[in-house]
Structure 1
Amino acid sequence: MRPYGCIADRVMLRTITFWNRGVTCVLISYGLKNFTWLLGILSVRGKKHGGLGVFSAKSWNYAAATELLWMIHLKKDLLWIKWIHGNYLQNQNVWEIQGRTYDSWMWRQILKVRDMLINKFGSTDNVKNAIEGCFSKDKLKLSEIYMCLIQPMPKVSWFSTAWDEFLYPKHSFILWLACNQRLLTKDRLCRMGMMSSNQNQCVLCCGHQLETSKHIFFECQFSADVWNRVMDWMRFRWRSCYWDLIISWYSCNLKGRGPLRKLKRMCLSAAVYMIWDERNRRIFQGKMRDPSQIFRAIRLSVFTRVLNVSSHAHMIDLLEVL
């Protein structure tokens, strides 16, 4: 039989579905080899910390085993707990007993988790204090244990910009990739050894500029034209075509849930998505559109979203004014 890794490298992961506030999002066409970094982010990071908010199954299993360990420590009045104390512990301390080769697989796994907890928190007393801090209304919460076990990550400033509930899920995903500098631009493909250095020019502009994420959004002459049209439409008072400045401005100055702020966030996500889509069309299909056509597509996506979401019907009047 061929090893799994050889097969996995040849399989394309076409769709991954995850639940996001009642909306199913579909992530399309990423190879497994180039998807490992994304799985790492998915496994441990919440959306506010730069991830997609998907739980790590491994860490969740550790949390469940920790809950079992605590029930054994408290000598809960359960048949299985009594069996553990009668057959394995026999008046010994669960925090000190050593496993034996003929013990059951499940018991040995619980002891492994115990040792992992002691190594992580430094001592048995620290483990007990950490678990006691996971109680809510006198009940041990599995989700709190999980959050205690995973590594804390710093919050990202662009969380509300990328994950506004008003945005199209596919737009949010591409914007999230751009904010994490994880879009497969040609400069990244060259560093990964998947493309030669003489093929790394941007396909959107006429010059021979290196295709990077920051160049595409929006230092490129083509994308800058599109973004300037969007800023004119939304009547931006502050203007820039530099990605870091745009994200910083959105994060600091466009907080809140006002209708105009939501529209501006939607315009950014739609512009990023449409420009990335145009880049892919030119590379893979040989089709080209001019900036005015891209801008019309952005406007159409915004109007379609507003007209089809009844709870945001008041935005129609705002769009008519713009």
Structure 2
Amino acid sequence: MLFSRGDLPSIRILMECLQEFRDVSGLAVNTAKSNIFTAGIQNDTLDEVLAMTEFARGHMPVRYLGIPLAAQRLSVTDYSPLVDQIAGWSGVLLAPSLPLPMAVIEKIHRLCRAFLWNSKRAPVAWVDICHPKEEGGLGVRHIQSWNVALLARVLWNIHCKADTLWAKWVNEVYLRGASLWDWQPKKDDSPLLRRLAEIRDRIITDFGSTEAAIRQMTEWTDRKGLVTSIAYEYFRPKLPKQPWKASIWKAFIPPKYSFILWLGLRERLATRDRLAFLHEDPTCSLCINSKESAKHLFFECPFSSYIWSYIRQWFGITRRMSTLLSAVKWLKKGKTGSSVQNKARHLALACTVYSLWRHRNEIIFEGKAPNPDGLVISIKITVYRLILTLFPQGL
């Protein structure tokens, strides 16, 4: 993107520079893919400029490097290419350093929810998923907080008068020698500048003074500038840490096992007591005797009790477990034995929970008959297979 005055001599110099660049590098401007944007130019001058450059005249809004640009505040519609890109999963990174409207953020959240759950009904709220695994989430970035962290980096660049064209331009045109921390935006200033002022005021309010805010932001920096990930930790929502993170999110546990165990610990599995609004039979499909709940399905049901009795006997465990949380706490306390034994215990718990849930679904949706002995054998084979994958040279 190149800028110049809107007169013929300036445009001529610009085109000569592009010609010289082509002669030196061998890279020529593609006139078919280039546009020229003008403002305040007389029609006769505009015609001469278009003839000289051979560029087509462009119109706002337009996308530049995937980001919408416009001469006025962007509407939700202007962000549709960005949302469409996410919907098609053609983009890997999403890190726009411009303020995203809440309506756009909510659209992105809906796309992410649909991708994760493949359903309109989400068992876990998206804001909870955006918490770190230590706090019971999945570690997905909270888009709004990440956007604020990126804007905080822009704010810091202006404060430090970083050697970037944009930071220099803001300091020269808007601040005009004034301190960023005292400057107040005007009503007709860009939405980006007004949003930066809002973030600045929030930081000052949070830390009590301008001096304290600057000291805190200094702690977020390294030799390259403000570290966005550190700022994100400050801006993101927070929850108390959960005791089960270290026991379920292990590299050696298959992700699908960890995911079902995570849903179970959050009490978000679609057991029949949570589907009462559908007016379906609430009876447990494993024992055909009691009402199905997560606690009944995994521990109180005679079928699951039979499975657990074999698993406990297999590992020499005498203590009975009544909830998934108590089972995970037992894993944390029972760290005796070799590395192989500890890994096998973690795998056995995750595999048993996953297998019970899968077997329950096969009975309901595929009409299979309950098979406790076959399920025990399947769990043991799976755990042995995974352990042998971890220790191929032998135990």
Amino acid corresponding to residue 74 of structure 1 in structure 2: C
In the other structure, the counterpart of 2:241 is 155
Partners of 1:255 and 1:235 in 2: CA distance: 12
Residue 312 in structure 1 maps to residue 394 in structure 2: no
CA distance 1:90–1:156, change in 2 (3 Å): same
Residue 251 in structure 1 maps to residue 332 in structure 2: yes
TM-score between the two structures when normalised by the length of structure 1: 0.80
Residue 141 in structure 1 maps to residue 227 in structure 2: yes
Residue 234 in structure 1 maps to residue 315 in structure 2: yes
Partners of 1:277 and 1:231 in 2: CA distance: 20
In the other structure, the counterpart of 1:31 is 119
Partners of 2:384 and 2:187 in 1: CA distance: 66
Partners of 1:107 and 1:284 in 2: CA distance: 55
Partners of 2:215 and 2:337 in 1: CA distance: 38
**What does 1:83-122 align with in structure 2 at a 5 Å threshold?**
83-122=169-208
- The match for 1:213 among 294, 310, 320 is 294
Residue 302 in structure 1 maps to residue 383 in structure 2: yes
Report the alpha carbon displacement of residue 14 of structure 1 after superposing the two structures with TM. 7.1
Report the alpha carbon displacement of residue 112 of structure 1 after superposing the two structures with TM. 2.9
Structure possessing the higher relative contact order (Cα contacts under 8 Å, 6 or more residues apart):
1
Residue 165 in structure 1 maps to residue 247 in structure 2: no
More divergent stretch after superposition (96-105 vs 248-257): 248-257
SS of match in other structure, 1:34: coil
Report the alpha carbon displacement of residue 255 of structure 1 after superposing the two structures with TM. 7.9
Deviation track 1:197-253 (CA, whole Å, cap 9, x = no partner) reads x6222211131x222111112111111111111111222243334434322212332
Partners of 1:300 and 1:216 in 2: CA distance: 22
CA distance 1:255–1:210, change in 2 (3 Å): farther
Q: CA RMSD in A?
A: 2.9
Partners of 1:58 and 1:82 in 2: CA distance: 27
Deviation track 1:124-182 (CA, whole Å, cap 9, x = no partner) reads 34432321222346853211111121233322211121112111110011011111111
Partners of 1:132 and 1:214 in 2: CA distance: 49
Report the alpha carbon displacement of residue 121 of structure 1 after superposing the two structures with TM. 4.2
CA distance 1:213–1:72, change in 2 (3 Å): same
Report the alpha carbon displacement of residue 111 of structure 1 after superposing the two structures with TM. 2.1
SS of match in other structure, 1:31: coil
CA distance 1:136–1:87, change in 2 (3 Å): closer
CA distance 1:46–1:249, change in 2 (3 Å): same
Report the alpha carbon displacement of residue 256 of structure 1 after superposing the two structures with TM. 9.2
- The match for 2:349 among 252, 259, 268 is 268
Amino acid corresponding to residue 206 of structure 1 in structure 2: I
Amino acid corresponding to residue 247 of structure 1 in structure 2: V
SS of match in other structure, 2:217: helix
List runs of 5+ in structure 2 lacking aligned partners.
1-103
Amino acid corresponding to residue 334 of structure 2 in structure 1: N
Deviation track 1:256-275 (CA, whole Å, cap 9, x = no partner) reads 98210110110000000010
CA distance 1:73–1:11, change in 2 (3 Å): closer
Residue 41 in structure 1 maps to residue 128 in structure 2: yes
Report the alpha carbon displacement of residue 63 of structure 1 after superposing the two structures with TM. 0.6
In the other structure, the counterpart of 1:64 is 150
CA distance 1:52–1:11, change in 2 (3 Å): closer
Partners of 1:127 and 1:238 in 2: CA distance: 53
Partners of 1:97 and 1:204 in 2: CA distance: 68
CA distance 1:93–1:77, change in 2 (3 Å): same
CA distance 1:140–1:12, change in 2 (3 Å): closer
- Calculate percent identity across the aligned residue pairs: 31
List runs of 5+ in structure 1 lacking aligned partners.
17-28, 318-322
Q: Which has the larger radius of gyration?
A: 2
In the other structure, the counterpart of 1:200 is 282
Partners of 2:307 and 2:128 in 1: CA distance: 31
CA distance 1:15–1:74, change in 2 (3 Å): closer
Partners of 1:312 and 1:117 in 2: CA distance: 51
CA distance 1:256–1:59, change in 2 (3 Å): farther
Conserved 8 A contact 1:224-1:241? no
Partners of 2:294 and 2:376 in 1: CA distance: 20
Partners of 1:77 and 1:11 in 2: CA distance: 37
- The match for 1:224 among 305, 310, 314 is 305
Conserved 8 A contact 1:175-1:269? yes
CA distance 1:268–1:111, change in 2 (3 Å): same
Partners of 2:337 and 2:142 in 1: CA distance: 30
